[in-house]
Amino acid sequence: MLLDVRDLRVEFRTRDGVAHAVNGVNLSVDAGETLAVLGESGSGKSVTAQAVMGILDSPPGRVTGGEILFKGRDLLGLKEEERRRIRGAEMAMIFQDALSSLNPVLTVGAQLAEMFTVHRGMSRKDARARAVELMDRVRIPAARERVDDYPHQFSGGMRQRIMIAMAMALEPSLIIADEPTTALDVTVQAQVMDLLAELQRELDMGLVLITHDLGVVADVADRIAVMYAGRIVESAPVHDLYKAPAHPYTRGLLASIPRLDQKGRELYAIKGLPPSLTDIPPGCPFNPRCPMVRDTPCRTEVPPLFEVAADRGSACFFWEECLHG
C-alpha cells in the first residue's frame, strides 16, 4: 500500500471552541490507483489532504491522533526536515487556484527550475532545460518561448498545467489534487483531467482527487470515499457506489444533481445544512438531515464503518435498507 491513513484526527482551536475537522478517517491508495474523496465544504476533505501533506496551518490546526503511513513509514513520527524532503519529491499537491499558488513575481520557468535546483542540486542551466521539457510534457504550446513568462500571462487552463508540471517534476509516487479543475471552464477541465490521467498512467502514481463534483468522480476515480462532518460515511469502488449507494447521504447527493441527458422532475433536496464542526450532533452526524433516521441508535450512537462487501463500507446502521430500498 502506497498511502495508508489510519484513524486520523485533526482539530482546530478557534475562538468559538474546538472544531473537530477530521474525526477518525481511514484511507488507502495504491500505486496507479485513483481515490476520490468527495464532500461538501466543511466536510474535512481538504484538511485531510493538508494533514497528509504536512502543510496544516498549525496553530490553530493540530493532528490529535492516528497514523499516516506512506510506503510503510509513519509520517507523523518524522521530523519536519525529513517531511520536507518527502514533500515535492515523493508526494506532491495540486491546488485549486493556480493563480494564487504560483509566485506572481517569478517567471514560471524559474519556479519550475527551483524544483530541480533545490531537490536535485542541479545547475541553473540544466534546471532551466528541464523546466522547458516539463512544459512541453504538459503540452504548453511554444514552451521554449514561454518559459520566461510570468503566471499572469497564462490563461487559467495553462496555469493549471504549470501546477501539474510542478507537481510532476520530480516524478513523485503520490499526487494529491485538491479540486484541480473547479475554477476552470468545462472544455478546459476536460483537457486538464485528461492530461492528469495520462501522466498518472505513465508514472504509475497514486492519485488522491479531492472534489465535490460527482461528475468528475464518475469520470476518473477507481474508488471513492464520501466524507461528511469529518468522517468517512461511505467508501466503495466507484461503479458500485453509483449503482447502489449504501448511505442515505450518498443517496441524497446522487438524487439532488440535475442530469444532462434528461429533463428531470423536481430535484430531491437534502433538507437542512451540514453541521458546524464545533457542534457536531451526537450519534450519527447526518441524523438531523436523514430521511431514514430512527431515535435509537441514530441519535445516540456513532455508527462505525460497517462492511457492506469486500472493499466496501458504510457508516449507517441501516445500510442494508438503504442499499436495497
Partner 1 sequence: MAELSKNDEREATPNVSEVDVVDAHSETEAVAAVEAPVDRGEPILQIRGLKKHFPLTQGILFKRQVGAVKAVDGVSFDLYQGETLGIVGESGCGKSTVAKLLMNLEQATAGEIFYKGQDITRLSGRALKAVRRNIQMVFQDPYTSLNPRMTVGDIIGEPFDIHPEVAPKGDRRRKVQELLDVVGLNPEYVNRYPHQFSGGQRQRIGIARGLALNPEVIICDEPVSALDVSVQAQVINLMEKLQDEFDLSYIFIAHDLSIVRHISDRVGVMYLGKVVEIGSDEQIYDHPTHPYTQALLSAVPQPDPEAREHRERIILTGDVPSPANPPSGCSFRTRCWKAEARCAEETPLLAVPQRFQGGDTPANHESACHFAEEKDVVHAA
Query: CA nearest 158: which of 130, 126, 185?
Result: 185
Query: CA nearest 169: which of 124, 208, 118, 130?
Result: 130
- Interface residue with partner 1 among 54, 252, 283, 313 (CB under 8 A) is 252
Stretch that binds partner 1, among 7-15, 94-102, 188-196, 311-319 (CB under 8 A): 188-196
- 256 sits near partner 1 (criterion: CB under 8 A): yes
In 160-177, which positions are buried (b, 16+ CB within 10 angstroms) versus exposed (e)? bbbbbbbbbbeebbbbbb
- Interface residue with partner 1 among 118, 203, 218, 293 (CB under 8 A) is 218
Stretch that binds partner 1, among 74-82, 94-102, 211-219, 300-308 (CB under 8 A): 211-219
- 198 sits near partner 1 (criterion: CB under 8 A): no
Pairing of strands 34-38, 61-70: unpaired
- Interface residue with partner 1 among 76, 118, 254, 292 (CB under 8 A) is 254
- 260 sits near partner 1 (criterion: CB under 8 A): yes
Pairing of strands 34-38, 223-228: parallel
Asked whether 251 and 269 are in contact (CB, 8 A), the reply is no
- Interface residue with partner 1 among 3, 86, 253, 322 (CB under 8 A) is 253
- Greatest Cα-to-Cα distance within the chain, rounded to the nearest angstrom: 68
Site string for partner 1, 289-318 (x = CB under 8 A): x-----------------------------
Is the Cβ of residue 46 or residue 173 nearer to partner 1 in the bound state? 46
| Residue 61 CB contacts under 8 Å (≥ 6 apart), including other chains | 10, 11, 12, 21, 47, 50, 51
- 185 sits near partner 1 (criterion: CB under 8 A): yes
